[in-house]
A and B are shown apart, each in its own frame.
Chain A
Amino acid sequence: MIYDVVIIGAGVTGSAVARELSRYSDLNVCVIEKGEDVCSGTSKANSAIIHAGFDAAEGSLMAKLNVEGNEMMDDLARDLDIPFKRNGSLVVCIHKEELDGLKDLYNRGIANGVKDLKILSKEELLEMEPNLSDNVEGALYAPTGGIVCPFILNIAMAENANVNGVDFFFNTEVQTLKRDENNVWHLRTNNGEYKTKYVINAAGVYADKFHNMVADKKIHITPRRGDYCLLDHEMGDFVSHTIFPQPTKLGKGVLVSPTVHGNLIVGPTAIDIEDKEATATTAAGIGDLMAKAGMHVKNLPIGRKVITSFAGLRAHEDNHEFIINWVDEAPGFFDCAGIESPGLTSSPAIGRMVGRMFREKLGLKEKSDWVGTRKGIVETKNLSIEERNELIKKNPAYGTIVCRCESITEGEILDAIHRPLGARSLDGVKRRVRAGMGRCQAGFCSPRTMEIINRELGIPMEEITKSGGKSNIVLERTKGGED
């Protein structure tokens, strides 16, 4: 079969594009992902911020899509049941000489179309955020800034695309691609060949690799590593807004922010590297983070309250701009490249933009039966006793807690496994329902989650992975173990 569109990459960009394309009738779309799940690369390891849009250069595509994506987020979060909160962002100055920079940022934000921006005095600021450093001089306040669950944003868009007919193929890595004389693209993968009329390159840090396979006008993407620390729930209300320092040419700096799930996130660093797989944190990176995190807030007990640290790679294109367009030299090939921060925020707007461009070029018609909404996995910890009991009566699995730290029931894990594009690994479960995301970091629940995956999906214990590939949890039976 020949697909109409193959999207390379099931990250937040590929999934947003897939969802938008799923609106159209007579369009066969699939997503090819080298990871074992959606949200396996850059989309899973970032600040989880819905940026207001004052950072990107005036007139840039990045600025336009950031502001649009931000504006779309309320409706999207409602339609797809995504945890999202407009907690507001603050860019905080600790030196008087930085105040001019704040004004520049304010003006840029106004030019970009960011609403309700305001410059705050020291007094106003400290009233809003008592845990800020005593040295603060002022801040830019953006009430439209927000926080989101990046996993669910990605997963929800992919699930919704899948429900509307988009195929997803995992553990499938595109090795080569070329166009034949009939303008059909042939994508060779480790799982056979895929044929398609159009290719959308949403490959994150690898987008340059695929672009450069088909185009002479090369692009270059640098993996820019960001180290993060995630702090315990106890620290979740340390600040209520997202606290940024003044941006530099390497990015928006080390932020301190609550997460939608009540943790505190600190990061990222910005270290340009070559290896597109090098998501290892380094002692220097974490050290740098700890030093910088304390500058704008006071007495942050980062060392004692960290529950995990991780690193993500931004897909930094040399011109620091989103590349979202047809590739003239390669008819039928479309780039979504250089999607770094504010990529998460922009993703719904990127999807919409790509959808429009395809509709115009291909003359697409909307389906009459497209379903634009999704019901998320019920979060039992937010339910009343009566609501819980109603649920437990229907399905007793909602009465068994599997993850103590995050208070996740077996019912929630079963839903994560059995819904469209369900979880097949421990990390897949974790990203959907947070089992293993808490302070014990899966020490208690991982053997239990493995048993559930084993029972429900029939995957032998030895073949259950943390996150696909060779990430098997156990090796073999013990000498005396039963078969």
Chain B
Amino acid sequence: MLKYDIVIIGGGPAGLAAAVSARKSGTEKILILERDHELGGILNQCIHNGFGLHTFKEELTGPEYAYRFMQQVFDEKIEYKLNTMVMDISAERVVTAMNREDGMFQIEAGAVILAMGCRERPRGALNIPGYRPAGIFSAGTAQRLVNIEGYMPGREVVILGSGDIGLIMARRMTLEGAKVKVVAELMPYSGGLKRNIVQCLDDFGIPLKLSHTVVDIEGKEHLSAVTIAEVGSDGKPIAGTEERYTCDTLLLSCGLIPENELSRGTGVKMNPVTSGPVVNESLETSIPGVFACGNVLHVHDLVDFVSQEAALAGENASAFVKNGCKDISDEKGIEIKAVEGARYTVPSTVNTERMGELLTVRFRVGAVFQDSYVSVYFDDERVMHIKKKIMAPGEMEQVILKKSALQEYAGIKTITVKIEKD
């Protein structure tokens, strides 16, 4: 059986950053397994700019951002296998993978880093009634067809969901000469970044209809029209508000789902809110030596944060290997709870001895909050109270915990993150 110190599942932005960081932390034998025919993951089809403002202080396209990390992987001579699908990861960290050249093979890994990314919610899961014709795509599939394959799905477009990929594709389809008639969003707020609404919809005069959904799909063979309607506070369509749009393309951008089929097979404990693994301050899952980072852990808004998170996972996986792959999981972790407006946190526990000087705790809010505060409580005592002009579900929030502060409060049981009006 092959043996590696660290096996990284996925060669997208998370996997690349984790690999580079693990190597810089001193681990030699690292292997990245990538199912596609090139490294870079979904960034390869994100040809728009706006990536890397935090990491590189400049605006890069997706492929450029990916290449910055790929270059480091090449420079560090980190091994990778392309066109290779991981079929199984055992709790003992035996990775089973397959490709054309090697067939099906197994690797004994000192540590495993899960970096499989996420996938889009398909039409079927949205329960939109109507026919099932050609012409309905998840926004990312359309993005691949247009940007990688070079084909246009259609000319008259309706978009359901205001996730970032949908917004980006509204602009992209427009630039390719298509008419994007409307973006309908079920929720009363957008699921995407504010800057994307401005740059991809407003700048092109594309209307965004909040609290609207698709209630009918016409066309037996190919899509010919969709009907959208306003929804009430119960999420149900309001009779009489229907508007019919003729179109040949419906793009869906209704949420991303961390791709955790492998993780479930391994038996890692999952967080039902994020659909990602539950992790501690080291980004280690419930199975010792199995780490997670990037969109497989929780869906991010900016790739810069993916890279930061992945670097931490790489560092900690490296430390785990250096420490002889010993299970040092213990009961010393302090629970981090998300309540009142905060939907979840990553990580969900913190061990003050194992954390670095600073620990970034990321979370998302469940609704739009204006002029509110992000508060952090150590048990019952409020220790942080940060004013925010606006917080929205489409954007990730964070608080930074200091090791020194936590050590002062020795013996606390719970850290609570909540949103407060004052």
**What residues make up the interface of A, taking CB atoms closer than 8 Å to B?**
229-230, 277, 279-283, 285-286, 303, 306-310, 385, 388-389, 392-393, 396-397, 399-401, 404-405, 407, 439-444, 446-447, 451, 461-462, 465-482
Q: Which residues of A contact B174 (CB under 8 A)?
A: none
Contact A481 B103 (CB under 8 A): no
Contact A475 B149 (CB under 8 A): no
Neighbour of A309 across the interface among B127, B141, B154, CB < 8 A? B127
Contact B217 A280 (CB under 8 A): yes
At the interface with chain A, which of B69-77, B129-137, B321-329, B336-344?
B129-137
A91 → chain B closest CB, angstroms? 28
Neighbour of B104 across the interface among A308, A388, A451, A477, CB < 8 A? A388
- Decide: A281 near B129, CB < 8 A? Known: A392-B100, A462-B151, A481-B151: yes
- Decide: A280 near B130, CB < 8 A? Known: A309-B124, A440-B120, A475-B248: yes
Contact B150 A477 (CB under 8 A): yes
Neighbour of B127 across the interface among A306, A404, A477, CB < 8 A? A306
Cα distance, A306 to B126, chains bound together (Å): 8
Contact A392 B103 (CB under 8 A): yes
Neighbour of A471 across the interface among B35, B96, B134, B217, CB < 8 A? B134
Contact A466 B133 (CB under 8 A): yes
Q: Could you list 9 A-B pairs, sorted by A, with CB under 8 Å?
A: A281-B129, A308-B125, A399-B100, A404-B35, A444-B141, A471-B133, A473-B134, A474-B153, A477-B150
Contact B141 A279 (CB under 8 A): no
Contact B120 A443 (CB under 8 A): yes
Contact A399 B150 (CB under 8 A): no
Judged by a CB distance under 8 angstroms, whether B396 is at the interface is no
Closest to B98 in A: A399
- Decide: A447 near B144, CB < 8 A? Known: A281-B130, A466-B133, A475-B153: yes
Neighbour of A388 across the interface among B98, B146, B151, B217, CB < 8 A? B98
Q: Which residues of B contact A393 (CB under 8 A)?
A: 103
Contact B99 A400 (CB under 8 A): yes
Neighbour of A440 across the interface among B102, B122, B149, B176, CB < 8 A? B122
Cα distance, A385 to B154, chains bound together (Å): 43
Known: A307-B125, A476-B152. 8 other contacts (CB 8 A): A277-B220, A280-B131, A280-B216, A282-B129, A306-B124, A389-B103, A397-B100, A478-B150
B356 → chain A closest CB, angstroms? 35
- Decide: A286 near B124, CB < 8 A? Known: A393-B103, A471-B222: no
Closest to A381 in B: B87
Neighbour of A286 across the interface among B98, B123, B127, B148, CB < 8 A? B127
Neighbour of A447 across the interface among B125, B141, B216, CB < 8 A? B141
Q: Which residues of A contact B125 (CB under 8 A)?
A: 306-308, 439, 441
Q: Which residues of B contact A474 (CB under 8 A)?
A: 145, 149, 151-153
The 10 closest A-B pairs by CB, nearest first: A481-B150, A308-B124, A441-B122, A396-B100, A471-B134, A474-B151, A466-B134, A399-B100, A389-B103, A401-B85
Tell me which residues from 79 to 126 in chain B have a Cβ below 8 Å from any Cβ of chain A: 83, 85, 87, 96, 98-104, 106, 119-120, 122-125
Q: Which residues of A contact B221 (CB under 8 A)?
A: 466-471
Judged by a CB distance under 8 angstroms, whether B177 is at the interface is yes
Closest to B149 in A: A447
Q: Which residues of A contact B35 (CB under 8 A)?
A: 401, 404
Tell me which residues from 134 to 175 in chain B have a Cβ below 8 Å from any Cβ of chain A: 134, 137-138, 140-141, 144-146, 148-155
A480 → chain B closest CB, angstroms? 7
Cα distance, A306 to B141, chains bound together (Å): 20
Judged by a CB distance under 8 angstroms, whether B215 is at the interface is yes
Contact A443 B138 (CB under 8 A): yes
Closest to A387 in B: B104
Q: Mark B243-255, 1 if CB is under 8 A from A, else 0.
A: 0000010000000
Contact A303 B127 (CB under 8 A): yes
Q: Which residues of A contact B141 (CB under 8 A)?
A: 443-444, 446-447
Neighbour of A400 across the interface among B83, B132, B144, B215, CB < 8 A? B83
Q: Which residues of A contact B106 (CB under 8 A)?
A: 385
Q: Which of A286, A399, A481 has the most CB of B within 10 A?
A: A399
Closest to A407 in B: B87
Q: Which residues of B contact A478 (CB under 8 A)?
A: 146, 150-152, 176
Neighbour of A477 across the interface among B85, B137, B152, CB < 8 A? B152
B130 → chain A closest CB, angstroms? 5
Q: Which residues of B contact A407 (CB under 8 A)?
A: 87
Cα distance, A18 to B220, chains bound together (Å): 28
- Decide: A310 near B132, CB < 8 A? Known: A388-B103, A479-B176: yes
Closest to A45 in B: B132
Cα distance, A469 to B221, chains bound together (Å): 7
B217 → chain A closest CB, angstroms? 7
Q: Which residues of B contact A405 (CB under 8 A)?
A: 261
Cα distance, A396 to B100, chains bound together (Å): 5
Q: Which residues of B contact A439 (CB under 8 A)?
A: 122, 125
Q: Which residues of A contact B98 (CB under 8 A)?
A: 388, 392, 399, 401
Q: Which residues of B contact A470 (CB under 8 A)?
A: 134, 221-222
A396 → chain B closest CB, angstroms? 4
Q: Which residues of B contact A310 (CB under 8 A)?
A: 132
Q: Which residues of B contact A466 (CB under 8 A)?
A: 133-134, 221
- Decide: A477 near B122, CB < 8 A? Known: A279-B220, A303-B127, A465-B134: no
Cα distance, A377 to B362, chains bound together (Å): 47
Q: Which residues of A contact B151 (CB under 8 A)?
A: 461-462, 474-478, 481
- Decide: A443 near B133, CB < 8 A? Known: A389-B104, A392-B100, A475-B154: no
Contact B100 A283 (CB under 8 A): no
Q: Which residues of A contact B132 (CB under 8 A)?
A: 279, 310
Closest to A425 in B: B134
Closest to B248 in A: A475
- Decide: A396 near B176, CB < 8 A? Known: A440-B122, A443-B138: no
Closest to B155 in A: A475
Q: Which of B85, B98, B148 has the most CB of A within 10 A?
A: B98
B152 → chain A closest CB, angstroms? 5
Q: Which residues of B contact A281 (CB under 8 A)?
A: 129-130
